[in-house]
C-alpha cells in the first residue's frame, strides 16, 4: 500500500536505497511504477522508450559481474580519493560507500530490475537522455510512494556492449539506467544536499538569487 501521496514529501525523502530485501514485489506495484514512467515527457512525445523488467537471476548475475568490475576499476578508487559531496561529511560519506559496496555485491539479488532503454540509433547525441531520464525519475518517485526502495544506477554503461548483449537489447536501442527495486532495509528520510544558494544564479553566472 502507498506510504504517502504528498508530492513534496516524496521528493524530499526519496533517498538512494541500496540495501534491498530479496522479498518478492507484487506485479501490480511494478505496473504502477511503469505507468508512472510512461507518463513522463519525451522529446516530441516520440515515446521511444522501452522498459525491460528483469527477474531472471542468471541474467542479473551476468550483469552484476560487469557492475562489480566497474566498481573495482573506477568507482571504488574514486570514492577513496574524493572529498564528501555537499551536504555530507566524512562519516556520512563512509556510510554511503558501504551502501554502494553492498549494492555492488548484492545487485543481482534485488527482486526486480527495471532497465530503462531508449531507441536512439548508433550515435546518440547529447540530448538523447532527455527522453528517458524523466521517466526514470518518475519511476523512482513512484517506487518511493509505494514504500519501495530503489536507486538510479548507470555504472553498467562502462561495459555497455557486453551488458546490453547479456540483457538481449537489440541494435538501435541502448540501456540508460537500471533501477533495482525491492523493499528497503533502511528508512526513507531527508536528503543530504548543499545550500541552494550555492547552485542557483540570477541573470548571470555566479550572481546570487536573493529570492531564495
| Tens of pLDDT, residues 84-133 | 889 888 898 888 889 999 999 999 999 999 999 999 877 778 888 999 99
Q: Which CATH architecture has domain 7-185?
A: 3-Layer(aba) Sandwich (3.40)
- Identify the DSSP state of 106: H
Distance of CA 119 to the CA centre of its chain: 19
Domain range list for the chain? 7-185
- Identify the DSSP state of 5: -
pTM for the predicted model, two decimal places: 0.91
Instruction: Write down the pLDDT at residue 87.
Output: 86
Cell of 147: 514504500
What is the distance between the alpha carbons of residues 141 and 148, in angstroms, rounded to a whole number? 10
Low-confidence ranges of the chain (pLDDT < 70): 1-4
Instruction: Write down the pLDDT at residue 127.
Output: 85
What is the distance between the alpha carbons of residues 21 and 19, in angstroms, rounded to a whole number? 7
* Residue 201, burial from CB neighbour count under 10 angstroms (0-12, 13-18, 19+): exposed
Amino acid at each position: 500500500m502507498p506510504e504517502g501521496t504528498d508530492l513534496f514529501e516524496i521528493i524530499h525523502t526519496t533517498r538512494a536505497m541500496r540495501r534491498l530485501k530479496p522479498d518478492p514485489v507484487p506485479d501490480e506495484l511494478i505496473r504502477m511504477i511503469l505507468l508512472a514512467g510512461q507518463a513522463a515527457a519525451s522529446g516530441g512525445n516520440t515515446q521511444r522508450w522501452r522498459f525491460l523488467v528483469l527477474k531472471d537471476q542468471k541474467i542479473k548475475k551476468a550483469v552484476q559481474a560487469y557492475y562489480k568490475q566497474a566498481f573495482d576499476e573506477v568507482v571504488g578508487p574514486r570514492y577513496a580519493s574524493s572529498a564528501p559531496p555537499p551536504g555530507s561529511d566524512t562519516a556520512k560519506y563512509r556510510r554511503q560507500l558501504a551502501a554502494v559496496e553492498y549494492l555492488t555485491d548484492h545487485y543481482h539479488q534485488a527482486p526486480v530490475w527495471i532497465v530503462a532503454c531508449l531507441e536512439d540509433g548508433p550515435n546518440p547525441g547529447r540530448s538523447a537522455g532527455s527522453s528517458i531520464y524523466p521517466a526514470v525519475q518518475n519511476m523512482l518517485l513512484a517506487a518511493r510512494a509505494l514504500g519501495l526502495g530503489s536507486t538510479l544506477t548507470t555504472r553498467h554503461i562502462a561495459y555497455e556492449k557486453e551488458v546490453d548483449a547479456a540483457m538481449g537489447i537489440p541494435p538501435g536501442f541502448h540501456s540508460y539506467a537500471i533501477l533495482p527495486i525491492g523493499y528497503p532495509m533502511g528508512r526513507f528520510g531527508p536528503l543530504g544536499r548543499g545550500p541552494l544558494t550555492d547552485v542557483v544564479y540570477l541573470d548571470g553566472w555566479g550572481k546570487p538569487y536573493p529570492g531564495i
